[in-house]
Amino acid sequence: MKTFILIHGSWHSSWNWHRLIPILEKAGHVALAIDLPGMGRDKTSVKEVKMQTTVEKICNLIDTIDDKVILVGHSKNGIMISQAAEYRPHKIEKLVYLAAYLIPNGKCQREYSVLDTQGVLKPYVKVDVELNATTLEKEIYKQGLYADCEDYITELAKLLLSPEPMASGSEILQLTEENFGSVPRVYIECTEDKAVTPFIQRKMYTELPCQKVYRMDTSHSPFFSKPQELADILCAL
């Protein structure tokens, strides 16, 4: 039995994992999905959320679990599992980057995001200066996030997506080989992704090599479109 902690991506929350969790549990594992600060049911003010705020919430959950955990990070919040591994390396069995930002020490997520010029989301990302957050316009949800998902997922997203705290995107990761570098990394590439494109995914896992790279022929959200295949990969770890 393994314990998976599932970390959602930008604008989303723990509902991302509602199709995956039952499959992992049926296979005998524990799967925990949390709402990151300011997201979903977490009532932290979005404008107050920093990267440290989010990493602390992840680390606090890790501290409640006796055994080692497997951290799964999606999209932007790959940066969160990396920084959590720096603080809790002895409590994490593996880091799994699911179409996620895998950023080296001394860099920030935004430095890599700006290189991803083929992604379709950027023209639809709107900045709320007062909240220090971004929102994503609904008209791009299907093409950019859920191209191969059932239509009800897009309709749910229209109700559930919320502003994304901006600060973490420009915060520099502080990672060491002794801590972060000691935790095995696995990458799951989504080959039809139009949000975090295969170009930038491959650039990241080439620059910061992983123990193994899996590939799924999906868009950005395989936990919705192919939850069984994703579960099979996670169980194989």
pLDDT in tens, 51-76: 999 999 999 999 999 999 999 999 99
Helix H or strand E encompassing 133 = strand 133-136
Predicted confidence at residue 142, as pLDDT, reads 98
Tens of pLDDT, residue by residue over 109-123, are: 999 999 999 999 999
Rounded to an integer, the average pLDDT of 10-26 is 98
61, 5 Cβ separation under 8 angstroms = yes
Whether the full predicted model's pTM is greater than 0.95, yes or no, is: yes
Structure tokens given for 216: 């799924």
Report the distance separating Cα 222 and Cα 145, nearest Å.
10
Predicted confidence at residue 177, as pLDDT, reads 98
Predicted confidence at residue 184, as pLDDT, reads 98
Tens of pLDDT, residue by residue over 86-106, are: 999 999 999 999 999 999 999
- Residue 186 contacts by C-beta under 8 Å, 6 or more apart in sequence? 94, 95, 96, 97, 210, 211, 212, 213, 214, 237
Structure tokens given for 104: 């080296």
Predicted confidence at residue 30, as pLDDT, reads 98
Predicted confidence at residue 218, as pLDDT, reads 98
| Domains, in order of start, for the chain | 3-236 (3.40.50.1820)
Predicted confidence at residue 71, as pLDDT, reads 98
Percent of the chain with pLDDT over 90: 100
